Amino acid sequence: MKIILLFFVFISSSLSIAEIQTGKITGYIPYEAPGKQVLIFKIQGSAPSGCNTTGRLAIDSTSLKFKATQAAVMSAFHSQSDVTVLIPQLTCNAWSNSWDVEAVCVGLIPC
């Protein structure tokens, strides 16, 4: 029994932290930092946690998906469409107080 319990503890600890948030975008900030552009945005119900002290999300221009994500965020905000945001790791590298975003999906399509 102890071996089985240890196995489940090992498996659960080795899984990467990931989060999916869904809702309407309540605002966005296009920003320029030294050497990169940053898009910071917030969706309904996004709460501060960990390094994300503002409840916001961010992606920077070092990501290959930056321009497409920027267009999706702006479009979804102005049309008030629901979005699904993929946050693969709960890190704040793009902007120090906002979770790093991997992708934003708009509309009725699985992300």
CATH topology of domain 17-106: OB fold (Dihydrolipoamide Acetyltransferase, E2P) (2.40.50)
Q: Which residue has the tokens 């501060």?
A: 48
**Cβ(106)–Cβ(81) under 8 Å?**
yes
Is the pLDDT at 2 greater than 50, yes or no? Answer: no
Residue 12 confidence (pLDDT): 39
Average pLDDT, the chain: 87
User: What is the pTM for the complete model shown?
Assistant: 0.82
Listed in sequence order, the residues at least 6 apart from 51 whose beta carbon sits closer than 8 Å to its beta carbon are 90, 91, 92, 96, 97, 99
Domains of the chain, by residue range, sit at: 17-106
- The phi, psi pair for 18, rounded to 5°, reads -145, 150
pLDDT number for residue 16: 56
| pLDDT over 50 at 1, yes or no | no
**Residue 68 pLDDT > 70:** yes
Token digits of residue 53: 């002290």
Q: Please give the helix or strand (H or E) that residue 110 lies within, else none.
A: none
pLDDT of residue 23: 95
User: How much of the chain, in percent, has pLDDT values that exceed 70?
Assistant: 85
